[in-house]
């Protein structure tokens, strides 16, 4: 470890002084997965980027792949990265891309020319459940009360969350429909950054908010937000929040994250990627990462993931059409 | 000199009107339905397109009459040299065409060379040498030092 | 006093040789990346995240904070010397700063920026230390209607950067607002003005526009208008600030800090708006307002202080509420989570060593940055003695590098060139560039906040009058627009009368 850091420092200092021809590690070609590139189709700092960088750490620390590079191709809910993967990286067996539920929605709302059927699904990795919250000052005490308000006057219930057509918006639509109102009447207030949406909820400027558990748990524990329901199918161990289903809203939704590979891979190439991901998921390093980030292990590789992907695509298409975001 | 300048100014003002009109046309394609907010995604574009047309029209009139306040462009800069402009442009266009095909080093060196030539660098061998040396130094500083993913091109394949 | 004890404890952590080393590495790296256009602190911190995996969290954050503050210091250098700001918070610095440099006063301009950054950074860190929870809660009071009103108020600052004519300034502003509309509408997910190009779905990056309008536009202009050989002037006179420079700088530093810190601490504030406001206020308060546009030191001192104070302000919601309100803060939040830490009120209780070590390191980082940057003034100024062909060749090399690495996208390079040509034309015809950037930053914020407010109120415009903060801010905006012409008329009347009395 120490040696590696020392090497990095030298490289950093060289970079600074601009003298820098640091040693370039030559990777042997031909042997699969001596090296791997993971594309995060989002800007640094977000969920996909974190997933890619944590994979990078786990894969190298568990000595599964020697060099792993992460690159960011941000834009349009990941559909720019998706197009790059499908069009420019065809047949590249050393390339993975992180994606997830958000991309399914983005493909629809952005009318993306490239869809997920044009890439090679590898595995669903992790997920995070969504939580419905209200400000601490709110008179609403339970999910049932919120549902009753939604049913009688959906316009009076403003719900803050992430960008239009994303996971939060999808859940808002599903909840409004399950509460017995028209999903097209959802009064959804979209924010592009997680922090801004959170501030609007904490500041009591909206009736309710929807976001991922990881983002909300801090303010919930600090007593600034009141959690009404979580979107998991069953109660989560260690989390004292009732599920939507318990509260009479028959909706379950996971904000899952997965990895996919470029199209046009040989069976051997695909198998090599599946093996590497499988070894990573089972490594203690990855398990520690899951625990640290509060990510739920939703590992589902290969063909089973492909089937799941298609089912999610049709569900998301249906609700986005009802909300009026997709045609 | 004044005439040439005025003609340019009229053209730019007309360009502003054209931009406003083009925006208005494109705004027709945006659905105006606004849901609860009522004003919808087309309201701001309409307001800006309209303002552009009005401001542009005022500027066309001012510029054509020559009533606009005098231009305080730098001394002796009444003539634009097209050759250096073209050289810098060539450098930038070659750079964006080359960066993913030939790699960062070649693209950047080409850009540096063209720009330096445009600004009057005389010894072109020296300039080329500096261009290549700087590009290589920057490439290694950023790709190895900061782990940035710069296109290597066919010559620096391994990383 | 508990805070003071905690802070002293923090210093005992930050002042170890080990952590001082990390702080020094951070500030050095931050200054270096800050000078380069387009390569900002957010990118650097996220690239360095994996490097710090094995590092103790306190040391890692001390380094990150160093990069963050260092980036803010470095940002002014290129703006002042070369008129090529690398990020949007330093475009205002470029206005007067570059004019000062062209007048041979690059030294004092860089010095007032560095000292102003130090003063603002330190004062804002003091505010962060003692007032963080209070300020964070005040920031939460701002809802969409209030933000919209704040944007309206900020739009009035455009009048300070209009240049030769109101109409051309407004045209520039509208051009920026039009660029800001490109992309997916946040509220409805509808495409606007994307011309069917996927690369435009996420809109046009402010950084690409800033680099295009300034770095590329400037290079094209310098190259093709050779009748203007004095665009890079060797320094004349003293390298340091004169007594008069100090006298003219200290008030803008303080006012800049007072503006920057609260804006930074606001969940949807940011570092740019306080620089616009600071410039407008300094111009209005200056003893000789006509020096603005010719290189007024107040116009460098105020905005530079404002953007550094905002940088410290951003840490307020991050540390106390866990709200990331800038790109760098988002990356730092990710770093916290990587160490299993959740920023928020509980962070101070659960990880006091880390938080107070981090806050103490901000004071130390500021001192280091001042010590690093003041001597560097001499070195930076010498940049100007590089032969112009190589200097501008280098500028474009870094400008394109910074642009390309934003999204690894050639499309951004195409945008950069096109915007650069626009920037060239604007210089050629003396159309002010700053309003375009102001429009690009404020336009989308104003639109989105207004529509959010209206959606929450179910379409009732009355929300802008019934919300007290919004109503107050709108009233101030109206006053700013209406009062000066009235006041000027009254004032000039008095002057005229006084004069007529003097001349018998």
Label residue B112 by pLDDT band (50, 70, 90).
very high
Q: Write out pLDDT tens, residues A66-114.
A: 788 888 787 778 888 888 888 888 888 888 899 988 888 888 887 788 8
* pLDDT tens column, C337-392: 767 777 766 677 777 788 888 888 889 888 988 888 888 777 877 777 788 888 88
Find chain A residues with C-beta within 8 A of C455's C-beta.
Answer: 158, 187, 189
Angle between helices B104-118 and C388-407 (to 10 degrees): 140
B51 and B91 in a single domain? The answer is no
Which residues does residue A230 pair with via DSSP β-bridges, in sequence order?
A: A131, A243
Regarding predicted confidence, which is higher, C104 or C220?
Answer: C220
Residue C232 has pLDDT above 60, yes or no: no
Q: Which pLDDT does position B129 carry in this prediction?
A: 93
Residue B69 DSSP symbol = P
Looking at A227, A254, A281, the residue that finishes a domain is: A254
Q: What is the DSSP string of C311-345?
A: HHHHHHHHHHH----SHHHHHHHHHHHHTT---SH
Q: What is the pLDDT of residues C292-310, one digit of tens each?
A: 888 889 989 999 999 889 8
Residue C453 confidence (pLDDT): 93
Residue B18 forms part of a structural domain: yes
Using pLDDT thresholds of 50, 70 and 90, give the confidence band for residue C34: confident
Looking at the fold, whether A199 and A213 belong to one and the same domain comes out as yes
Specify the pLDDT at position B151: 81
Tell the residue number behind the tokens 């420019």, with chain if given.
A88
Average pLDDT, chain C: 83
Q: What is d(CA A62, CA A79) in angstroms, rounded to the nearest whole number?
A: 31
Alpha-carbon gap, residue B29 to C191, rounded angstroms: 9
- Say whether both A86 and A118 belong to one domain: yes
Q: By three-state DSSP, how is residue C96 classified?
A: helix
In a domain, A144, yes or no: yes
For residue A1, being part of any structural domain is answered with no
Nearest by Cα to A65 from A43, A98, A96: A96
State the residue range of the domain holding A272: 33-127+256-321
> So what's the pLDDT on residue C238?
65
Residue A221 shares a structural domain with residue A169: yes
Do A266 and A122 reside in the same domain of the chain? Answer: yes
Please report how many Cα atoms fall inside a 13 Å half-sphere around the Cα of residue B68, on the Cβ side. 27
Of A212, A232, A254, which closes a domain? A254
The pLDDT score that the predictor gives to residue C459 is 86
- Burial class, A44, CB count within 10 angstroms (exposed 0-12 / middle 13-18 / buried 19+): buried
- Please tell me which chains touch B, using 3 or more CB pairs under 8 Å as the contact test: A, C
Q: What is the pLDDT of residues B31-78, one digit of tens each?
A: 776 678 778 889 999 999 999 999 999 999 888 876 555 454 444 445
- When CB atoms are compared, the residue of A12, A25, A69 closest to B145 is A12
Q: What does the alpha-carbon distance between residue C287 and residue A207 come to, in Å, rounded to a whole number?
A: 49
Same domain? For B88 and B125 the reply is: yes
The answer to whether residues B44 and B88 belong to one domain is no
Instruction: Mutation target for C interface from B95, B107, B110, B122: give the one with most C CBs within 10 A.
Output: B95
**pLDDT score recorded for residue C383:** 75
A109: chain C residues, CB-CB within 8 Å: 184, 189
Same domain? A118 vs A260: yes
Compare CB distances from A27 to B36, B137, B158 and report the shortest one's residue.
Answer: B158
CATH at residue A159: 3.40.190.10
For C443, nearest residue in chain B (alpha carbons) = B44
CA distance C390 to C113: 26
Phi, psi of A127 (to 5 degrees): -160, 170
**Tokens at residue C299, please?**
């116009």
* pLDDT for A7: 39
- Give the pLDDT of residue C186: 85
Strands (E), C110-249: 183-184, 191-192
Q: Is residue B119 part of a domain?
A: yes
pLDDT above 90 covers what percent of chain B? 43
In tens, the pLDDT along C236-279 reads 656 677 888 888 888 999 999 999 998 888 877 777 888 888 99
Residue A26 lies in a domain: no
pLDDT at residue A302 in the model = 84
For the cut 60, the answer to whether the pLDDT of residue B1 exceeds it is no
Same domain, B86 and B52: no
CATH of the domain at A84: 3.40.190.150
Closest CA to C78 of C113, C52, C103: C113
3 state SS of A262: coil
- Note the pLDDT of residue A175: 92
Neighbours of chain C (3+ CB pairs under 8 A): A, B
Amino acid C53: pLDDT: 61
ipTM: 0.89
Domain range enclosing B131? 82-156
Is B68's CB within 8 Å of C165's CB?
Answer: yes
Q: What is the pLDDT of residue C177?
A: 94
3-state class of C153 per DSSP? Answer: helix
Cross-chain residue pair C224–B85, CB shorter than 8 Å? yes
* pLDDT at residue A19, rounded to an integer: 35
Residue B128 has pLDDT above 90, yes or no: yes
Question: Which run of H or E residues covers position A69?
Answer: strand A67-72
Q: Are residues A113 and A139 in the same domain?
A: no
The C-alpha R_g of chain A, in whole angstroms, comes to 21
pLDDT at C86 over 50: yes
* A167 lies in the same domain as A96: no
Asked whether residue B76 is assigned to any structural domain, the reply reads no
Has residue B6 been placed in a domain? yes
B131 and B104 belong to one structural domain: yes
Q: What residue ranges do the domains of chain C occupy?
A: 2-466
Q: Is residue A143 part of a domain?
A: yes
The pLDDT score that the predictor gives to residue A18 is 36
Residues B45 and B92 occupy one common structural domain: no
Co-location of A263 and A311 in the same domain = yes
Q: What is the pLDDT of residue A120?
A: 87
Residue at B70 is within a domain: no
Domain tally, chain A: 2
Question: In this structure, is residue A12 part of a structural domain?
Answer: no
Q: Are residues A120 and A261 in the same domain?
A: yes
A254-261/C191-192 β-pairing:
unpaired
DSSP C27-68: HHHHHHHHHSTT--HHHHHHHHTGGGTTS-HHHHHHHHHHHH
C85 CB within 8 Å of a chain A CB: no
Q: Do residue B32 and residue B95 come from a single domain?
A: no
Q: Would you list the DSSP string of B97-118?
A: HHTTTT-HHHHHHHHHHHHHHH
Q: Which of A241-255, B133-147, C410-424 has the lowest mean pLDDT?
A: B133-147
Identify the pLDDT of residue B79: 61
Collapsing DSSP states into helix, strand and coil, what is residue C302? helix
Query: Do residues B90 and B141 share a domain?
Result: yes
Q: How confident is the model at residue B155 (pLDDT cuts 50, 70, 90)?
A: low
Q: How far is CA A268 from CA A30, A304, A306, C36, in A?
A: 12, 19, 18, 44
* Same domain? B49 vs B101: no
% of chain C surpassing 90 pLDDT: 15
Is B71 domain-assigned?
no
Beta strands A95-100 and A254-261, pairing class: antiparallel
- Per residue in B86-110, pLDDT tens? 999 999 999 999 998 888 999 999 9
Q: At what angle do helices B82-98 and C217-224 cross, to 10 degrees?
A: 140
**Which is higher by pLDDT, B33 or C99?**
C99
CB count in 10 Å sphere of residue A292: 14
Across the interface, of B144, B149, B156, the residue whose CB is closest to A11 is: B144
Q: Report yes or no: C124 and C257 within 8 Å, Cβ to Cβ.
A: yes
Dihedral sign from CA coordinates of A285, A291, A295, A301? positive
Average pLDDT over residues C1-6: 77
Chains in touch with A (3+ beta-carbon pairs under 8 Å) read: B, C
| Cα–Cα distance measured from residue C239 to residue C250, given in angstroms and rounded to the nearest whole number | 18
Type and span of the H or E element at A21? none
Give the ranges where chain A is alpha helix by DSSP (H).
Answer: 2-17, 47-61, 79-88, 101-109, 143-152, 167-178, 194-202, 213-221, 267-282, 284-293, 302-323
Measuring CA to CA, how many Å separate A40 from each of A75, A91, A201, C466? 10, 18, 29, 44
Say whether residue B75 is in contact with chain C using an 8 A CB cutoff: yes
A70 and A141: one domain?
A: no
Which residues in chain A have their CB less than 8 angstroms from residue C458's CB? 155-156, 187
Element (H, E) at B28: none
Tell me, yes or no, whether A76 and A151 share the same domain: no
Comparison of pLDDT for A24 and C330, the residue scoring more? C330
Burial of C108 (0-12, 13-18, 19+ CB in 10 A): buried
**Percentage with pLDDT > 70 across chain C:** 89
Q: What is the pLDDT of residue A11?
A: 40
Question: Is residue C1 very low, low, confident or very high in pLDDT (cuts 50, 70, 90)?
Answer: low
Q: Are A225 and C327 in contact (CB under 8 A)?
A: no
Determine, yes or no, domain membership for A27. no
Phi, psi of C162 (to 5 degrees): -70, -30
Residue after which a domain boundary falls, among A254, A271, A301: A254
User: Which pLDDT does position B158 carry in this prediction?
Assistant: 44
Q: Is residue B51 in a domain? A: yes
Position C503 pLDDT exceeds 60: no
Half-sphere exposure of B81 (CA within 13 A, CB side): 18
* Any domain includes A139: yes
Residues A156 and A58 in one domain: no
Q: In whole angstroms, give the CA distance from residue C440 to residue C177.
A: 5
- Identify the segments of chain A with pLDDT beneath 70: 1-32, 45, 193-194, 327
Domain-terminating residue out of B65, B91, B116: B65
| A8, A83, A218 ranked by CB distance to C342: nearest | A218
Sign of the dihedral through C-alpha A202, A203, A206, A207 = positive
What is d(CA A135, CA C413) in angstroms, rounded to the nearest whole number?
A: 44
Count of Cβ atoms closer than 10 Å to residue C107 Cβ: 23
């Amino acid at each position: 470890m120490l040696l590696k850091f020392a090497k990095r420092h030298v490289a950093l200092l060289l970079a600074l002084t601009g003298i820098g021809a640091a040693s370039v590690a030559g990777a042997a070609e031909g042997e699969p997965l001596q090296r791997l590139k993971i594309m995060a189709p989002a800007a640094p700092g977000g969920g996909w980027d974190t997933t890619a960088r944590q994979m990078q750490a786990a894969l190298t620390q568990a000595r599964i792949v020697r060099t792993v590079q992460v690159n960011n191709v941000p834009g349009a809910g990941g559909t720019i990265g998706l197009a790059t993967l499908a069009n420019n990286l065809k047949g590249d067996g050393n390339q993975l891309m992180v994606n997830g539920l958000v991309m399914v929605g983005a493909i629809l709302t952005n009318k993306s020319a490239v869809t997920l059927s044009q890439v090679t699904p590898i595995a669903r990795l992790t997920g995070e459940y969504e939580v419905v919250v209200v400000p601490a000052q709110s008179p609403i005490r339970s999910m049932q009360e919120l549902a009753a308000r939604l049913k009688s006057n959906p316009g009076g219930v403003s719900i803050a969350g992430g960008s239009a057509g994303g996971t939060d918006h999808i859940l808002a639509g599903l909840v409004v429909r399950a509460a017995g109102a028209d999903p097209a009447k959802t009064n959804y207030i979209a924010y592009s950054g997680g922090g801004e949406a959170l501030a609007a909820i904490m500041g009591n400027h909206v009736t309710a908010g929807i976001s991922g558990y990881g983002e909300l748990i801090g303010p919930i524990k600090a007593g600034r937000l009141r959690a009404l329901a979580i979107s998991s199918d069953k109660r989560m161990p260690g989390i004292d929040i009732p599920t939507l289903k318990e509260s009479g809203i028959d909706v379950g939704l996971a904000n899952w994250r997965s990895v996919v590979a470029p199209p046009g891979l040989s069976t051997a190439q695909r198998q090599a990627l599946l093996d590497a991901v499988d070894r990573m998921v089972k490594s203690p390093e990855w398990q520690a990462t899951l625990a640290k980030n509060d990510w739920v292990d939703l590992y589902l590789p290969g063909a089973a993931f492909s089937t799941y992907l298609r089912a999610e695509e049709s569900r998301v298409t249906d609700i986005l059409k009802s909300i009026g975001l997709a045609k | 000199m004044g005439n040439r300048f005025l003609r340019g100014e009229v053209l730019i003002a007309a360009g502003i009107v054209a931009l406003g009109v083009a925006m208005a046309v494109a705004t027709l394609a945006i659905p105006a339905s606004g849901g609860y907010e009522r004003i919808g995604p087309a309201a701001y574009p309409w307001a800006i397109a309209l303002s552009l047309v009005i401001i542009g029209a005022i500027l066309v009139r001012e510029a054509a009459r020559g009533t606009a306040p005098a231009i305080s462009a730098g001394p002796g800069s009444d003539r634009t040299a097209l050759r250096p402009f073209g050289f810098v442009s060539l450098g930038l266009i070659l750079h964006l065409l080359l960066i993913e095909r030939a790699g960062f080093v070649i693209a950047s060196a080409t850009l540096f060379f063209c720009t330096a030539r445009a600004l009057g660098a005389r010894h072109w061998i020296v300039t080329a040498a500096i261009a290549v040396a700087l590009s290589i130094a920057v490439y290694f500083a950023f790709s190895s030092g900061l782990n940035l993913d710069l296109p290597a091109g066919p010559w620096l394949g391994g990383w | 006093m508990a805070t003071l004890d905690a802070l002293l404890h923090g210093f005992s952590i930050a002042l170890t040789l080990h952590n001082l080393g990390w702080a020094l590495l951070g500030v050095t790296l931050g200054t270096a990346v800050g000078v380069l256009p387009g390569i900002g602190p957010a990118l650097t911190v996220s690239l360095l995240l994996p490097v710090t995996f094995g590092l103790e969290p306190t040391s890692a954050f001390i380094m990150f904070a160093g990069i963050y503050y260092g980036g803010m210091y470095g940002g002014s250098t290129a703006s002042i010397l070369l008129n090529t700001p690398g990020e949007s918070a330093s475009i205002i610095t470029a206005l007067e700063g570059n004019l000062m440099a062209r007048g041979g006063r690059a030294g004092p301009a860089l010095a007032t920026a560095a000292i102003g950054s130090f003063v603002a950074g330190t004062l804002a860190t003091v505010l962060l230390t003692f007032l963080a929870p209070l300020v964070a809660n005040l920031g939460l009071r701002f809802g969409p209607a209030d933000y919209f009103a704040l944007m309206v108020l900020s739009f009035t600052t455009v009048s300070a950067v209009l240049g030769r004519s109101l109409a051309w300034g407004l045209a520039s502003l509208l051009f920026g607002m039009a660029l800001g509309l490109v992309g997916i509408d946040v509220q409805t997910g509808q495409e606007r003005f994307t011309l069917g190009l996927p690369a435009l779905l996420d809109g046009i990056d402010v950084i690409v526009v800033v680099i295009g309008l300034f770095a590329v536009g400037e290079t094209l202009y310098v190259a093709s208008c050779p009748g203007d050989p004095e665009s890079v002037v060797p320094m004349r006179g003293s390298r340091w600030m004169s007594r008069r420079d100090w006298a003219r700088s200290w008030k803008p530093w303080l006012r800049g800090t007072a503006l920057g810190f609260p804006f930074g601490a606001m969940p949807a504030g940011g570092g740019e708006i306080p620089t616009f406001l600071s410039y407008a206020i300094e111009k209005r308060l200056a003893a000789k307002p006509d020096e603005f546009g010719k290189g007024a030191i107040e116009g460098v001192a105020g905005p530079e202080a404002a953007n550094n104070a905002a940088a410290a302000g951003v840490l307020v919601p991050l540390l106390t509420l866990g709200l990331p309100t800038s790109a760098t803060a988002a990356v730092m939040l990710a770093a916290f989570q990587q160490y299993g830490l959740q920023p928020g009120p509980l962070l101070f209780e659960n990880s006091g060593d880390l938080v107070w070590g981090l806050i103490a390191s901000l004071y130390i980082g500021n001192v280091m940055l001042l010590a690093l940057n003041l001597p560097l003034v001499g070195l930076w100024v010498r940049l100007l003695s590089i032969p112009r062909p190589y200097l501008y060749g280098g500028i474009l090399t870094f400008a394109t590098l910074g642009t390309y690495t934003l999204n690894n996208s050639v499309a951004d390079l195409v945008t950069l060139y096109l915007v650069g040509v626009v920037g060239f034309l604007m210089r050629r015809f003396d159309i002010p560039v700053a309003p375009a950037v102001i429009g690009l930053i404020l336009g989308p914020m104003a639109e989105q906040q207004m529509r959010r407010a209206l959606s929450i109120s179910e379409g009732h415009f009355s929300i802008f009058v019934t919300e007290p903060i919004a109503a107050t801010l709108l009233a101030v905006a109206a006053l700013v627009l209406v009062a000066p012409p009235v006041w000027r008329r009254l004032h000039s009347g008095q002057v005229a009368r006084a004069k007529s009395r003097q001349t018998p």
